[in-house]
Structure 1
Amino acid sequence: MHENKLGTSEWDTIIESKSTLFSVNFKELWNYRDLLVLFVRRDFVTVYKQTILGPLWFFIQPILTTITFTVIFGNVAQLSTDGAPKIVFYMAGITLWNYFSACLITVSSVFNTNASIFGKVYFPRLIMPMTIIVSNLIKFGIQFLLFLCFMFYYQFQGQISPNLWVLATPFVIVLMALIAMGIGLILSSMTTKYKDLNMLIAFGMQLFMYASPVIYPSSSIPKDYLWLMKLNPLVSLFDYIRYAYLGVGTFSINDFIYPTIFSIIILFVGIIVFNKVQKTFMDTV
């Protein structure tokens, strides 16, 4: 509170209830950008502070997963990779999937995880889901650099041929983030009341990975079921990453239409649900 030139008191910050469910105060979010940076730094430090290898786990996890997928799905199961080297084929899918799944799972438990903070101090609640998206984006960036190293190696060997579609990568990452955040916000409202859903979500994500072309190309799906597979908005995004960076499969700009529309709708619904639940969630957490 401060006094103006007339000697009357004025409030510096006014916290008021919004009348509409879909209401995002972008000015307020911008004013709290320092808090977002603080939370991102906290997430990065606390996860790896007491580990022996620290941030090296960013590299170890995708490498071990890629090796496992190469042995099991590439050598034993003999799944197609559309002619691309197995290592870089699986790493492309794993890099995208790790970002999407980490964002969705963590956002889905945002109310339960941060209940103690939400109950003590005011700040825009949407800051927490945004923190998760940005924090995981840093991890994705590190793992993506690892993928690029393998890509350049195989390109030098003449086994893959990237193209100009790589310039659309930021747009694809935004779509992945919006879809993960939208679905996560919807699930977060359910986990406040039904705690055991957290375990179901983790299990469901494992099943959803096999419903997405993470370990296989879309070309291996029978044509009779391809339309059903295309209902998954992630299919086109995985097809993109392999077409752009490995030069395998097919992709066109029209393949961006459905994921874009889906991401906008799911985020819109997610914000509505989030705004509704955040008013009363302390009574159920």
Structure 2
Amino acid sequence: MEQYTTVIKPKGKLWQVDFKEIWEYRDLLSMFVKRDIITQYKQTVLGPLWFLIQPILTTLMQFVVFGTIADLSTDSLPKPLFYLAGNVMWLYFADCLNKTSTTFNTNQAIFGKVYFPRLIVPLATVISNLVRFGIQLLLFVVFYLYYVFIGGYEIQPNIYILLLPVLVFMIAGLALGFGILVSSMTTKYRDLTILFTFIVQLWMYGTPVVYPMSSITNSILKTIMWFNPLTSIFEAFKYGAMGQGEFSWIMLGYSFCFMLLLLTISIIVFNSVQRSFMDTV
């Protein structure tokens, strides 16, 4: 019986993800990950130092505006450490979200020339950003050790810090879900890109990055805040790392279920759009 090197099959169901095919293209995935890491700051003067400069400058600005001028509460934690904890998580989410949201428009040239699983591109973005997240997390640890051993602050981490890999996975899943959903819609409606950029900027203020949930006294507003799937993740990280925050298994479960539902919907839309996006992009 004649053997074929390539077998063309009919398209499967919209909600399905062919993990076997993605695994077969793992070398391409690895190449995209390396490309994203190398090219991000390739032609810059400071290069990878921007991984550290960005959270430091952001934390400094928040310290001046929210910590000094507005004098917002940080649950008795050192303000720079509190802001840095939120920034490390937020910068990973925002960067993954912004880059995956332009998947189709940014890669239309290569998508139109060669076939490969399209999900590899947003997956590569989420994975490559883990490098920057790891570096910034180390920066947070340095600040943490300074305030504990030199600053004399009594900061008490607990066993919930072991949830960090799960929390990072949830952030990646939410960013991937929202990103590819927006990317799918912007193939036809380009002005959504501008609107989405504005929404992401406002989203940070609807997430406990520069303030703790304990500072919100209005019960209705607090309930609305908890419906933000990022809220429980950020609070869980701060609670596990520094012993301050409002940890809730119920809300963390809500965020996890929200992520799964979002990924399912976004994959359905993504698979639908990728079949004909070259006609509209």
- How far 1:208 moved relative to its partner? 0.7
Q: What are the Cα deviations for residues 37-87 of structure 1, in whole angstroms up to 9, with x where unaligned?
A: 101111111111111110000000000000000011000000110111000
CA distance, structure 1, for counterparts of residue 198 and residue 32 of structure 2: 27
CA distance, structure 1, for counterparts of residue 168 and residue 200 of structure 2: 19
Aligned match of 2:131 in 118, 128, 138? 138
Counterpart in the other structure of 2:51: 58
Q: Is the contact made by 1:151 and 1:245 (CA closer than 8 Å) also made in structure 2?
A: no
Q: Is the contact made by 1:166 and 1:245 (CA closer than 8 Å) also made in structure 2?
A: yes
Aligned match of 1:199 in 194, 199, 202? 194
- How far 1:254 moved relative to its partner? 2.9
Q: 1:86 to 1:210 in 2, by over 3 A?
A: same
Aligned-partner SS, 1:128: helix
Aligned match of 1:158 in 153, 156, 159? 153
CA distance, structure 2, for counterparts of residue 257 and residue 145 of structure 1: 27
CA distance, structure 1, for counterparts of residue 119 and residue 82 of structure 2: 35
User: Which region of structure 1 is more displaced relative to structure 2, 70-79 or 193-202?
Assistant: 193-202
- Could you tell me which runs of 5 or more consecutive residues in structure 1 were left unpaired when the two chains were aligned: 1-7
Q: Say if 2:274 is the partner of 1:278.
A: yes
> What is the Cα-based RMSD across aligned positions, in Å?
1.1
Counterpart in the other structure of 2:170: 175
Q: Say if 2:151 is the partner of 1:149.
A: no
TM-score (norm 1): 0.95
Sequence identity (%): 51
Counterpart in the other structure of 2:32: 39
Aligned match of 2:264 in 259, 264, 268? 268
Q: Number of residue pairs matched?
A: 278
- How far 1:255 moved relative to its partner? 3.1
CA distance, structure 2, for counterparts of residue 32 and residue 12 of structure 1: 15
- How far 1:106 moved relative to its partner? 1.0
Q: Is the contact made by 1:103 and 1:136 (CA closer than 8 Å) also made in structure 2?
A: yes
Q: Is the contact made by 2:51 and 2:136 (CA closer than 8 Å) also made in structure 1?
A: yes
- How far 1:158 moved relative to its partner? 3.1
CA distance, structure 1, for counterparts of residue 220 and residue 16 of structure 2: 42
Q: Which amino acid aligns with 2:222?
A: L
Counterpart in the other structure of 1:208: 203
Counterpart in the other structure of 1:17: 10
Runs of 4+ in 1 over 6 A off after TM superposition: none
CA distance, structure 2, for counterparts of residue 218 and residue 13 of structure 1: 55
Q: Is the contact made by 1:85 and 1:159 (CA closer than 8 Å) also made in structure 2?
A: no
